[in-house]
Amino acid sequence: MKIKIISMSIISCCIVACTNVAETEKKSEMINFNEISNTYFKSYAPVFEPSINRIGNKSGTILIKKKNLSKKEMNTVTDKMKTDGWVEFEHSTNYALYCLNKYQLIGILYPNNLIERNKNGEEIIYEDINSWNIGLYYNQNGINSCIK
């Protein structure tokens, strides 16, 4: 009888441990940038420009003309993102960072000038101030901005 209880305990521990490993692996999987674009921005005529496409490290930018997406509409989009699990890590008047776990980040900029600054005073330079600049980043090793 004791052997059965001990065996059941060991099996239960293994199942829980395997489940936790599977959950961790799933959390680090990248959400496809096209899926993000379609889920949140499809109706605003987004233009996606990939920049880095390596195994475990990807980035790109979604550009949306300001005339197609108002700040009020963007608030609705970011509310949906938060409902879907994205966490706001940084927010200023024209710039916000959202992370999904520590592996994936969306940076949203509503540029008014060719040079904007983040909260650390670092310059963010843009060529097109007539469009929302939505940066998408994924790194399988984690993104510093997303680590608490």
| Out of 2-11, 43-52, 88-97, least confident range | 2-11
Q: Kindly state the helix (H) or strand (E) to which residue 81 belongs, with its residue range.
A: helix 71-83
Please state, rounded to an integer, the average pLDDT across all residues of the chain.
Answer: 80
pLDDT of 141 strictly over 50: yes
Mean pLDDT (whole number) for 45-51: 94
Task: Return d(Cα 128, Cα 132) in angstroms, integer.
Answer: 9
Per-residue pLDDT of 65-113, as tens digits, reads 999 999 999 999 999 999 999 999 988 888 899 999 999 999 999 988 7
| Out of 45-49, 77-81, 115-119, 130-134, least confident range | 115-119
Task: Return d(Cα 136, Cα 8) in angstroms, integer.
Answer: 45
pLDDT score of 28? 62
Mean pLDDT (whole number) for 121-147: 87
Residue 125 has which token pair? 């330079």
pLDDT score of 92? 81
pLDDT of 35 strictly over 70: yes
pLDDT of 116 strictly over 90: no
pLDDT score of 17? 35
Per-residue pLDDT of 120-133, as tens digits, reads 777 877 777 899 99
Identify the CA nearest to 37 among candidates 45, 25, 29, 26: 45
